[in-house]
């Protein structure tokens, strides 16, 4: 479980710095391209190690909590999450991204931004308290106002972490960030299970999210603490202007990435929303546990390479290939075995989430690699195009969710799979042109993973047809998983051995800081 409200991981798009800004030279800027790649890969290794070490505990806690709670509990907290996530973007105001990207911010201004972040956090909590009762009436849920108020405390707690966390990212202190996240994940997994077993119901999710914010803030401040200074708004205008650009892009992003939850909660009710929420959570696991560890480290890395077009091109291909090799089989595999996995792991009360889980898991193939394209646009300074593309998505996708809701949560999930790839066509064309990368070359980076997934899908579907109906569910699930994994690995070995060996050599060079 994460510190974010249940349902959707939070990976808002980053925004690049204005080209005309006068930059300061930071210690990290004096590093060579090879040194930066070495720092990035070592940070990635630390992040991966901590994420995968906590993966088992996170999975167990998620499944235990899902078995003990009802779909309505997840739906109720997801209603609060739609509003709180939106206000969370306003409360951060892009200050963290400004610190990571801009080189114009002085240490004194960082202290001013630190206090400004806390002021925004307190203001956001006050707004949350005022909006709680009206939101309860809007969603027709008398329990919702108190949930919103309690979860709103997270704004105040997290506001103390905003600037220190950005400084750790800017300085590429990935080891510290990885340790913070790993400790938080392990502690939270145990607390969530304990609360669910003790019968806290939906308060398990509420308290878990609040506790997560507290743990992350405490650990971050232990690693990086900055003082406070009263903001001099005139001197902060470059950061405020940049933050406003970030905010505009993120608000549009948030509108279309949460419109499905809003439509499901408003038109279908708490129980369908709860099923859809958990389906999204499970479908997001490959991206959250593998893709996000790169997305959290790549902005600082790409920002340091923003004047090196060849470096951006080379590293985009390497990262895309690595992400695809890991996330594509997991996403497609989850879609293939959802019929067995859901009743076996969660129980029959979650059967309605099977089709949405299959659709969202398949859509995960796109979700796992697309954020890197967005980051290329941002570091090359094409923020205006990114902004208007996000606005277009914020118009098209909510309409699609509304129409799709006629077919329930299945139709809402299908909208992601059908419409969102169309929204990404123009950003892909623009980003690849920016770095002079032919689409055919880019497609070649994901082909080994797609080829393996196609072979895996054919064999698993055939095996499901052949297996007798009398085979116990647990055995059927195990057979399909082992068969799919073996076919995927075999396909890579037979057809893409040289590519895998080349990628391995590249990673070894990058970790060693070689050329």
Q: Residue 99 and residue 108: Cα distance in Å, rounded?
A: 12
pLDDT in tens, 33-69: 555 555 555 555 555 566 655 666 676 777 788 888 8
Q: Residue 93 and residue 104: Cα distance in Å, rounded?
A: 18
Q: Is the pLDDT of residue 185 over 60?
A: yes
Contact 285, 327 (CB under 8 A): no
Say what the pLDDT of residue 10 is.
46
Q: What percent of the chain is modeled with pLDDT above 70?
A: 80
Q: Work out the burial of residue 34: count CB atoms within 10 Å of its CB; fewer than 13 is exposed, 13-18 middle, 19 or more buried.
A: middle
Q: What angle do CA 5, 8, 9 make, to 5 degrees?
A: 95
Q: What percent of the chain is modeled with pLDDT above 90?
A: 32
Tokens found for residue 253: 């992003």
Mean pLDDT for the stretch of residues 404-411: 95
Q: Residue 266 and residue 75: Cα distance in Å, rounded?
A: 11
The confidence band for 224, taking pLDDT boundaries of 50, 70 and 90, is: confident
Which sequence spans correspond to the domains of the chain? 27-304+334-436
Q: What angle do CA 231, 236, 242 make, to 5 degrees?
A: 135
Q: Residue 347 and residue 61: Cα distance in Å, rounded?
A: 15
pLDDT in tens, 331-378: 999 999 999 999 998 888 899 999 999 999 999 999 888 888 877 887
């Amino acid at each position: 479980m994460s510190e974010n409200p249940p349902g959707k991981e939070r990976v808002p798009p980053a925004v690049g710095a204005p080209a005309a800004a006068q930059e300061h030279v930071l210690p990290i800027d004096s590093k060579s391209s090879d040194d930066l790649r070495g720092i990035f890969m070592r940070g990635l290794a630390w992040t991966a190690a901590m994420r995968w070490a906590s993966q088992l505990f996170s999975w167990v806690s998620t499944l235990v909590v899902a078995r003990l709670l009802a779909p309505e509990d997840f739906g109720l907290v997801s209603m609060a999450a739609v509003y709180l996530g939106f206000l969370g973007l306003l409360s951060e105001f892009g200050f963290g991204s400004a610190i990571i990207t801009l080189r114009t911010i002085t240490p004194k201004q960082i202290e001013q931004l630190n206090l400004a972040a806390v002021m925004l956090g307190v203001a956001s909590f006050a707004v949350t308290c005022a909006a709680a009762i009206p939101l309860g009436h809007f969603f027709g849920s008398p329990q919702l106002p108190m949930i919103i108020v309690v979860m709103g405390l997270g704004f105040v707690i997290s506001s103390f972490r905003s600037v220190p966390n950005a400084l750790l990212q800017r300085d590429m202190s990935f080891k510290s960030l990885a340790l913070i996240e790993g400790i938080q994940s392990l502690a939270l997994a145990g607390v969530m299970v304990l609360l669910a077993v003790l019968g806290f119901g939906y308060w398990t999710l509420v308290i878990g999210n609040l506790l997560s914010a507290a743990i992350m803030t405490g650990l971050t401040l232990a690693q990086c603490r900055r003082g406070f200074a009263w903001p001099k708004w005139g001197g902060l205008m470059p950061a405020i202007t940049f933050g406003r650009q970030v905010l505009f892009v993120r608000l549009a992003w948030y509108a279309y990435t949460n419109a499905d939850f809003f439509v499901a909660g408003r038109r279908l009710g708490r129980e369908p929303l709860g099923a859809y929420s958990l389906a999204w959570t499970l479908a997001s696991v490959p991206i959250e546990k593998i893709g996000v560890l790169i997305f959290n480290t790549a902005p600082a890395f790409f920002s340091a390479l923003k004047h090196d077009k060849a470096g951006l091109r080379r590293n985009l291909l390497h990262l895309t290939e690595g992400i695809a090799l890991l996330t594509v089989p997991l996403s497609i595999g989850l879609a293939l075995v959802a019929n067995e996995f859901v009743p076996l792991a969660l129980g029959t009360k979650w059967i309605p989430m099977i089709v949405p889980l299959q659709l969202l898991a398949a859509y995960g193939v796109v979700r796992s690699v697309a954020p890197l394209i967005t980051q290329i646009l941002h570091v090359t300074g094409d923020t205006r195009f990114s902004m208007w593309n996000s606005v277009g998505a914020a118009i098209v996708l909510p309409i699609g969710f509304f129409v799709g809701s006629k077919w329930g949560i299945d139709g809402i999930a299908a909208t992601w799979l059908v419409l969102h790839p169309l929204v990404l066509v123009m950003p892909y064309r623009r980003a690849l042109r920016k770095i002079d990368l032919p689409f055919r070359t880019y497609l070649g980076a994901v082909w080994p993973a797609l080829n393996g997934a196609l072979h895996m899908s054919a064999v698993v579907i055939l095996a499901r047809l052949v297996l007798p109906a009398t085979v116990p569910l647990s055995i059927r699930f195990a057979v399909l998983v082992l068969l799919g994994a073996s076919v995927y690995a075999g396909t890579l070995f037979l057809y893409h051995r040289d590519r895998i060996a080349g990628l391995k050599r590249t990673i070894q060079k990058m970790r060693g800081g070689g050329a």
